[in-house]
């Protein structure tokens, strides 16, 4: 790198740059931080102190307990975990199997299916729910966990492309040498290709997992039953009964963010990579 002497102008610009970046940190942190403070305040304390004041006792977990039990957040976490496990397993299987056919066989079936997926990228999921709802209803899946699970598995095109991109980089000669050794195509997929696409599996699990965890629209439409609430719809239900209890709503908000924060801190690199890979489909 060309090292230049720092003159006055450079020092000024560098200071300005960090001033802007630090100011922005506040823009992103403060709205969340005040909610974090509120979650530890008692109702009386919340009413009497400024939002920027620290709570008197950071060990006051009463609001969290209320959010968890009375607020049905526990039900929400349970249902979200169930939905996550099944729809992630489903997406990884369907996504990697379709990608295998698209990348290895250039037959007519493969081409037609690939075309169907490509055209579908144009159709925004959100716009077709009016009619999708009728189909889910007709199949008897309304108010069952199967509705979100099937929809999350079925409407996913981005993960196919993540797998496809990865498989294109696995040399076909590897399949061929396995076939010479007497393997059939099922074995090629499950014993050779699948273990090699583990990084892509991780990417799909993370990006898709976050998307499902955060989704509000699908559980809101398809599983309104109280016993089937997910984290999103359980938190949404706080609006009515806790409208005047912002300290409890705040606790719910913080609870829902904790798993996300842990995943982010642990898997930052993979998340960034996943975004970049997922965006450059085709």
Q: Closest approach of Cβ 154 to other proteins, in Å?
A: 3
Q: Are 118 and 183 in contact (CB under 8 A)?
A: no
How far CA 27 is from CA of 36, 165, 264, in Å, comes to 15, 37, 19
Nearer to other proteins, 59 or 258 (CB): 258
Q: Which is nearer to other proteins, 57 or 268 (CB)?
A: 268
102: Cα within 13 Å, side-chain hemisphere: 24
Residue 68 corresponds to which tokens in the numbers above? Answer: 């968890």
The rounded distance, in Å, linking the Cα atoms of 263 and 282 is 28
Give the nearest distance from C-beta 32 to other proteins in angstroms. 6
Q: 267, exposed or middle or buried, with CB in 10 Å at 0-12, 13-18, 19+?
A: middle
- 160, 208, 244 from 85: Cα distances, Å: 18, 11, 35
Measured from the CB atom, the residue of 17 and 198 that comes closer to other proteins is 17
Q: In Å, how far from its chain's centre is CA 276?
A: 15
What is the chain's alpha carbon radius of gyration, rounded to the nearest angstrom?
24
Name the residue nearer to other proteins (CB basis): 82 or 183: 183
Helices (H), 171-243: 172-180, 185-187, 194-196, 198-214, 217-222, 231-236
Is the Cβ of residue 85 or residue 118 nearer to other proteins in the bound state? 118
The distance of closest approach from Cβ of residue 214 to other proteins in the complex, given in angstroms and rounded to an integer, is: 5
Q: What's the rounded Cα separation, in Å, for the pair 117 and 88?
A: 19
Q: Minimum distance from CB of 225 to other proteins (Å)?
A: 15
**Residue with smaller CB distance to other proteins, 30 or 85:** 30
Q: In 3-state terms, the chain is what percent helix, strand and coil (to 5)?
A: 75, 0, 25
Q: Least distance in Å: CB of 120 to other proteins?
A: 5
In the complex with other proteins, the residue whose CB is nearer, 82 or 209, is 209
Question: Which two three-digit tokens encode residue 217?
Answer: 């629209």
* Burial zone of 159 (CB within 10 Å; 0-12 exposed, 13-18 middle, 19+ buried): buried
Q: Residue 21 CB, nearest distance to other proteins (Å)?
A: 5
Of 82 and 97, CB closest to other proteins: 97
Shortest reach from residue 59's CB to other proteins, in Å: 22
Closest distance to other proteins from the beta carbon of 119 (Å): 9
């Amino acid at each position: 790198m060309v090292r230049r002497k720092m003159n006055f102008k450079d020092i000024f610009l560098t200071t300005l740059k960090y001033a802007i970046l630090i100011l922005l940190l506040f823009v992103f942190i403060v709205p969340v931080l005040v909610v974090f403070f509120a979650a530890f305040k008692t109702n009386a304390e919340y009413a009497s102190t400024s939002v920027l004041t620290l709570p008197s006792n950071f060990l006051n977990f009463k609001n969290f307990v209320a959010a968890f039990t009375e607020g049905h957040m526990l039900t929400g976490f349970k249902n979200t975990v169930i939905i996550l496990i099944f729809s992630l397993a489903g997406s990884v299987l369907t996504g990697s199997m379709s990608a295998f056919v698209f990348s290895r066989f250039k037959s007519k079936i493969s081409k037609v299916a690939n075309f169907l997926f490509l055209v579908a990228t144009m159709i925004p999921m959100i716009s077709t729910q009016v009619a999708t709802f009728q189909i889910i209803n007709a199949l008897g899946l309304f108010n069952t966990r199967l509705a979100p699970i099937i929809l999350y598995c079925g409407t996913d095109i981005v993960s196919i492309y993540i797998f496809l991109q990865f498989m294109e980089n696995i040399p076909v000669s590897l399949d061929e040498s396995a076939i010479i050794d007497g393997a059939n195509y099922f074995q090629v997929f499950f014993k050779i290709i699948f273990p090699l696409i583990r990084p892509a599996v991780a990417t799909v699990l993370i990006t898709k997992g976050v998307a499902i965890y955060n989704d509000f629209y699908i559980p809101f439409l398809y599983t309104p039953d109280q016993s089937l609430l997910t984290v999103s719809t359980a938190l949404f239900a706080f609006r009515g009964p806790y409208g005047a209890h912002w300290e409890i709503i705040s606790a719910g908000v913080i609870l829902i963010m904790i798993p996300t924060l842990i995943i982010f801190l642990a898997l930052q690199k993979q998340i960034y990579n996943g975004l970049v890979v997922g965006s450059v489909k085709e």
